[in-house]
Amino acid sequence: MRRRDFTALVGAIGAWPLVARAQSPTNAPIIGYLSPDSASAQSQWNAAFVRRLHELGWIEGRTVEIEYRWAEGNAERLSEFASELVRLNVNVIVTSATAPTIAAKRATSQIPIVFAASGDPVGSGVVATLARPSGNVTGLSIQSVDAASKRVELLHDVVPNLRRLAILNNGDTPVTTREAEEAQAAARSLGLAVATLDVRRADDIASAFAELNGPADALFVTTSPFFFNSRLAVSALALKARLPSAYGLREEVLAGGLLSYGASFPDLFRRAAELVDRILRGAKPADIPVEQPTKFDLVINLKTAKALGLPIPHNLLVLADEVIE
């Protein structure tokens, strides 16, 4: 399911006067939505979020208003958008990654903030502890570090004679570095040699692949908005280099990656709507423990596997939550 009005909303946001947007015609509460990505990239996640709100009695345009802000891969706009939502005096701010959560937290200590997906909310300083977040922030963790070893094992099961693993990491965020370290440890426990490449700019992705120059048999990509927004380039370069690739998000496999394993983002966003519901009905974020993922998805792209001449073991196809053909 896709939100048909997302594109119209994005185009219209710049044209609406700020004061007009700050006043809901229905006097309904306003949810501010701050994302590092684009509306189209998060369409499935947002559909799950809005659908669950509807089930809980919050109908967009009638009993609740939603102010969307899409950074579209430009992290520098997050602080600007966060401040804008604070000026609008929204009732709660929903974020979809660690960077926008930090931007929102810097912009306000009063408005409740719910993160739908954060790699390491404690380590990044978003919350004090998972059980007692304190302050005005709570949400859901994606446990990307914990899932890293499983993705390495999946590559080991899929790629015959796997000996050398390349890890593509964006070192701007500490949690992805910890994920890369977990992947390194898992690879070495399997007797694999490891090469880790740190990429910080989209312009450097191609040169990172050139640096590999053939010494890798497979590719592990850490889970971050940076690689999510560059997923078409990463998957195309991996396929060109004939590297089976593993990711944390389904959308990266839809873009041409071989497989993904990680927390189900539609499920996380659905549960984020439940936290928003509690807050709109009077609960305080400090009293709501950070929740862990309960659903993990394995997605396999058979089209990519065929292009690589790579047969996927039948037992993995049976276990997969989704097979793309």
CA distances (Å), origin 82, targets 51, 54, 159 = 24, 25, 44
Least confident of 19-28, 138-147, 164-173, 228-237: 19-28
Q: Are residues 93 and 85 in contact, defined by beta-carbon separation less than 8 angstroms? A: yes
Note the pLDDT tens digit of each residue in 162-217: 999 999 999 888 889 999 999 999 999 999 999 999 999 888 999 988 887 667 99
Distance, CA of 304 to CA of 301 (rounded, Å): 5
Q: What is the pLDDT of residue 143?
A: 86
Q: What is the pLDDT of residue 14?
A: 39
Q: What is the pLDDT of residue 68?
A: 97
Domain with CATH 3.40.50.2300 in the chain: 6-142+265-294, 144-263+297-324
Name 165's Cβ contacts closer than 8 Å, sequence gap at least 6.
152, 155, 183, 187, 192, 193, 194, 195, 216, 217, 218, 219, 220
Q: Spelled out in words, what is the top-level CATH class assigned to the domain 6-142+265-294?
A: alpha beta
Q: What is the pLDDT of residue 285?
A: 96
Q: What is the pLDDT of residue 274?
A: 98
Q: What is the pLDDT of residue 21?
A: 41
Residue 28 has pLDDT above 60, yes or no: yes
Which band of pLDDT confidence, cut at 50, 70 and 90, is reported for residue 26? Answer: low
Fold exhibited by the domain 144-263+297-324: Rossmann fold (3.40.50)
Q: What is the pLDDT of residue 213?
A: 67
Q: What is the pLDDT of residue 70?
A: 96
Name 208's Cβ contacts closer than 8 Å, sequence gap at least 6.
168, 197, 199
R_g of the chain computed on alpha carbons: 20
Higher pLDDT, 145 or 108: 108
Q: What is the pLDDT of residue 17?
A: 36
Q: Tell me the pairing of strands 164-169 and 193-198.
A: parallel
Mean pLDDT of the chain: 90
Other beta carbons within 10 angstroms of residue 247's beta carbon come to 29
Residue 227 has pLDDT above 50, yes or no: yes
Note the pLDDT tens digit of each residue in 52-99: 999 999 999 999 999 999 999 888 999 999 999 999 999 999 999 889
Name 163's Cβ contacts closer than 8 Å, sequence gap at least 6.
192, 193, 217
Q: What is the pLDDT of residue 256?
A: 97
Residue with tokens 């996380």: 268
Note the pLDDT tens digit of each residue in 265-291: 999 999 999 999 999 999 999 999 999
Provide the whole-model pTM. Answer: 0.86
Residue 18 has pLDDT above 60, yes or no: no
Note the pLDDT tens digit of each residue in 245-271: 999 999 999 999 999 999 999 999 999
DSSP category for residue 139: E
Residue 123 has pLDDT above 90, yes or no: no
Q: What is the pLDDT of residue 6?
A: 39
Which band of pLDDT confidence, cut at 50, 70 and 90, is reported for residue 10? Answer: very low
Q: What is the pLDDT of residue 245?
A: 97
Residue 119 has pLDDT above 90, yes or no: no
